[in-house]
């Protein structure tokens, strides 16, 4: 699960429209790291699947993504790309939230959230 966390951090820091935004994103990314690890543990069966806790994780991620997207200022290509990426992440996290009734359904949807993280990481790394 650690690659997912690295991707989340890379997305947030790369998406920042200004140097001042990076410190604001650090606590969000640190929380996402812990929560993504917890979600992955539930989905892998390492700990029991708790639908309420899983929904709380995704609700937080969805809200955070919406807030980050709203905070990205400017019309540069990088800013537009970052907004689009956080918007997609938010939509996919929301879809995962809706599929959280069972571990299997949630796990399938959560893979798209992970893919969103990987996509940003790959784009910002280059």
Domain boundaries defined on the chain: 2-125
Helix (H), strand (E) at residue 59:
helix 51-71
Whether the predicted model's global pTM rises above the 0.85 cut: no
* CATH top class, domain 2-125: mainly alpha
Q: How many residues appear in the chain? A: 126
For residues 63 and 68, what is the distance between their CA atoms, to the nearest angstrom?
A: 9
For residues 56 and 35, what is the distance between their CA atoms, to the nearest angstrom?
A: 9
Instruction: Please tell me the predicted confidence (pLDDT) of residue 9.
Output: 46
For residues 89 and 120, what is the distance between their CA atoms, to the nearest angstrom?
A: 10
For residues 1 and 114, what is the distance between their CA atoms, to the nearest angstrom?
A: 9
Q: What is the pLDDT of residues 82-106, one digit of tens each?
A: 899 999 999 999 999 999 999 999 9
Per-residue burial over 94-107, b = 16 or more CB atoms within 10 Å of its CB, e = otherwise: bebbebbeebeebb
Residues 6+ apart with CB under 8 A from 7: 114, 117, 118, 120, 121
Q: What is the pLDDT of residues 39-87, one digit of tens each?
A: 999 999 999 999 999 999 999 999 999 998 999 899 999 899 989 999 9
């Amino acid at each position: 699960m650690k690659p997912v966390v690295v991707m989340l951090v890379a997305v947030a820091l790369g998406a920042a429209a200004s140097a001042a935004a990076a410190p604001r994103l650090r606590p969000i990314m640190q929380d996402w790291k812990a929560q993504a690890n917890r979600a992955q543990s539930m989905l892998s069966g390492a700990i029991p699947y708790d639908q309420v806790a899983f929904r709380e994780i995704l609700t937080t991620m969805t809200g955070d993504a919406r807030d980050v997207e709203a905070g990205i200022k400017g019309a540069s290509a990088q800013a537009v790309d970052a907004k689009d990426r956080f918007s997609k992440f938010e939509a996919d996290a929301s879809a995962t939230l809706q599929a959280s009734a069972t571990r299997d359904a949630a796990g399938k949807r959560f893979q798209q959230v992970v893919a969103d993280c990987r996509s940003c990481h790959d784009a910002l790394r280059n």
